[in-house]
């Protein structure tokens, strides 16, 4: 039995949920910070939180000394498009000259530019491209990472992307969660024949993915340039039948009814919500669905932010993610997303921490095992080189993480510059 003690932390930011496994309203601001405590780990799980006054009986165990540092639950990045190839720097240039993101998409650029690059990349090239990206997240203290497909848009290439995610999952100690996003947009070859592409997804891709356990969730993009609620429901119906969880990109530029479809199919999360209507907002309060907000998109595309304050105050479960992708949020810094949420969406520091830990864990169905420092949960931690958790959000764009621990194992240490 592996036993380990983490001692001397200035703060243990537990994010304790008192057995609820999620945070709403004022709960997001309550982080239950412990001082003068040590964490006792047995077999990769949190076995006890011990007051230092009674630590003496544990002194025969291996220890990790985190003096002058603080510990948070391992961060959960619950919405990324890390599986992409190529660059969209040219389109970034066009955007800076005033051409709108949606306009670029309508002209056959945007997502389809990345689809072309992915189709040209062999499986192992894709996996290789993803490695430094995943390592970048690990260096920030991320111990659970969601990655979507969605740039293949045909059977062969969507499966290739999910296989690349599988290679990555086997390579790294963190939990990688694969999401199938075949319904990201319509590929050129089916531009005028939506039904045939939907049939491809429903009859070929989804059954193969479910059978080979290549994804845990099925996601879609509900938007005027992508899929309508009716089209999405055909896909969700099949995904549900096959046992996949449901997620939905919706209300990013246009509000066309995605929230209703997501609720109807018991989605675990609705993501984006920049143009969420008040009537839909009310439908999300006190629901068992996570609102995953992506302020990096509003920052990168320079438009309105999702109504985080209203959502939290109305009792919705709010999480935060980078949405790391080549087109709408070429930002892979989750700490910076926390700063943006604080500065641009009116969230307080504690709320941003709850949003990248326990509520993000709920968004990928990991809230029973991850997202907070509570007895019985996985010993996943992010150790920060500061004595005060506010510094994580206050130091915009700076990575204060100095150690990442997954199930009781140190997988990254800044002074060793090695990620496993
Ligand atoms: O989450 N909204 C749709 N998909 C991505 C953007 C994808 C891209 O532009 O490549 C997003 O913002
Ligand atoms: Fe996204």
Could you identify the atom of ligand 1 that is nearest to the CA of residue 110?
A: 9
Distance 249 CA to ligand 2 centre (A): 6
**CA gap 61, 231 in Å, rounded:** 57
- 359 C-beta closer than 6 A to ligand 1: no
The string of pLDDT tens digits covering residues 176-224 is 999 999 999 999 999 999 999 999 999 999 999 999 999 999 999 999 9
Look at residue 419 in the predicted model and tell me its pLDDT.
62
Atom of ligand 1 nearest to the CA of 329: 12
Q: Which helix or strand (DSSP H or E) is residue 345 part of?
A: helix 334-345
In this prediction, residues 364-375 reach a mean pLDDT of: 98
Checking if the pLDDT of 232 tops 90, the result is: yes
Element (H, E) at 108: none
Residue nearest to atom 11 of ligand 1 (CA): 328
- Number of the ligand closest to the Cα of 219: 2
Query: Helix, strand, or coil here: 86?
Result: coil
What is the predicted pLDDT for the residue at 56?
77
The band of 244, judged by pLDDT with boundaries at 50, 70 and 90, is very high
Q: Give me the pLDDT at residue 417, please.
A: 60
pLDDT digits (tens, 9 = 90+) for 257-272: 999 999 999 999 999 9
Mutational pocket test of ligand 1: of 106, 184, 223, 232, the residue with most ligand atoms within 8 Å of the beta carbon: 184
Query: At residue 420, does pLDDT exceed 80?
Result: no
Bridge partners (DSSP) listed for residue 142: 75
Nearest-atom index, ligand 1, CA of 226: 3
Fold classification of 76-362 is: TIM Barrel (3.20.20)
Average pLDDT, the chain: 97
Q: In what order do the strands lie in the sheet with 142-148?
A: 75-77, 142-148, 175-183, 217-222, 245-250, 269-272, 290-293, 317-320
Ligand 1 lined by 331 (C-beta under 6 Å) = no
Q: Is ligand 1 within 6 A of the CB of residue 357?
A: no
- Rounded to the nearest angstrom, the distance between the alpha carbon of 252 and the centre of ligand 2 is 10
pLDDT digits (tens, 9 = 90+) for 311-358: 999 999 999 999 999 999 999 999 999 999 999 999 999 999 999 999
Q: Is the CB of 297 under 6 A from ligand 1?
A: yes
Q: Where exactly does CATH 3.20.20.140 map onto the chain?
A: 76-362
Q: 42-87: per-residue pLDDT in tens?
A: 999 999 999 998 887 777 889 999 999 999 999 999 999 999 999 9
Q: Tell me, which fold does domain 3-73+372-419 have in CATH?
A: Urease, subunit C; domain 1 (2.30.40)
User: What percentage of the chain carries pLDDT values higher than 90?
Assistant: 95
Is residue 62 within 8 Å of 3, Cβ to Cβ?
yes
Range(s) within the chain of domains with CATH label 2.30.40.10? 3-73+372-419
Q: Whose CA is nearest to atom 1 of ligand 1?
A: 323
Question: Whose CA is closest to 304, among 250, 347, 252?
Answer: 252
Residue 249 Cβ < 6 Å to ligand 1: yes
pLDDT band, residue 418 (cuts 50/70/90): low
Burial 205-223 (b: 16+ CB within 10 A, else e): bbeebbeeebbbbbbbbbb
Closest ligand 1 atom, residue 151 Cα: 10
Q: Is 327 in the pocket of ligand 1 (CB under 6 A)?
A: yes
């Amino acid at each position: 039995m592996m036993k380990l003690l983490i001692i001397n932390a200035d703060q243990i930011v537990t994010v304790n949920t008192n057995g609820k496994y999620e945070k709403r309203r004022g709960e997001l601001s309550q982080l239950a910070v412990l001082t003068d405590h040590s964490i006792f780990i047995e077999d990769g799980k949190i076995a006890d939180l011990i007051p230092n006054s009674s630590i003496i009986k544990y002194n025969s165990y291996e220890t990790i000394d985190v003096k002058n540092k603080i510990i948070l639950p391992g961060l959960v990045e619950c919405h990324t498009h890390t599986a992409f190839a190529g660059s969209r720097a040219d389109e970034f240039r066009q955007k800076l000259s005033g051409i709108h993101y949606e306009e670029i998409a309508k002209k056959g650029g945007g997502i389809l530019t990345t689809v072309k690059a992915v189709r040209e990349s062999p499986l192992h090239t894709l996996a290789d491209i993803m490695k430094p990206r995943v390592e970048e997240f690990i260096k920030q203290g991320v111990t659970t990472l969601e990655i979507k497909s969605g740039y293949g848009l045909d059977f062969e290439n969507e499966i290739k992307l999910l296989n690349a995610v599988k290679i990555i999952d086997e390579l790294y100690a963190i939990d990688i969660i694969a999401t199938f996003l075949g319904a990201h947009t319509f590929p050129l070859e089916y531009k005028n024949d939506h039904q045939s592409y939907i049939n491809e997804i429903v009859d070929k891709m989804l059954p193969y993915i479910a059978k080979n356990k290549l994804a845990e969730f099925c996601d879609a993009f509900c938007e005027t340039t992508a899929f309508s609620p009716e089209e999405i429901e055909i896909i969700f119906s099949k995904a549900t039948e096959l046992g996949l969880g449901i997620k939905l990109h919706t209300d990013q530029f246009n509000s066309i009814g995605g929230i209703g479809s997501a609720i109807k199919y018991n989605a675990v999360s609705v993501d984006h919500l920049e143009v969420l209507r008040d009537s839909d907002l009310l439908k999300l309060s006190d629901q068992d669905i996570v609102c995953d907000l992506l302020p990096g998109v509003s920052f990168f595309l320079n438009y309105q932010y999702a109504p985080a304050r209203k959502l939290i105050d109305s009792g919705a479960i709010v999480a935060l993610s980078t949405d790391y992708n080549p087109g709408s949020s070429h930002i892979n810094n989750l700490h910076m997303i926390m700063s943006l949420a604080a500065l641009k969406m009116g969230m307080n520091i504690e709320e941003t921490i709850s949003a990248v830990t326990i509520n993000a864990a709920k968004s990928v169905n990991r809230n029973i095992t991850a997202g907070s420092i509570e007895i019985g949960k996985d010993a996943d931690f992010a150790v920060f080189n500061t004595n005060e958790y506010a510094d994580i959000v206050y130091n915009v764009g700076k990575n204060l993480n100095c150690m990442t621990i997954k199930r009781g194992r140190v997988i990254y240490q800044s002074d060793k510059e090695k990620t496993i």
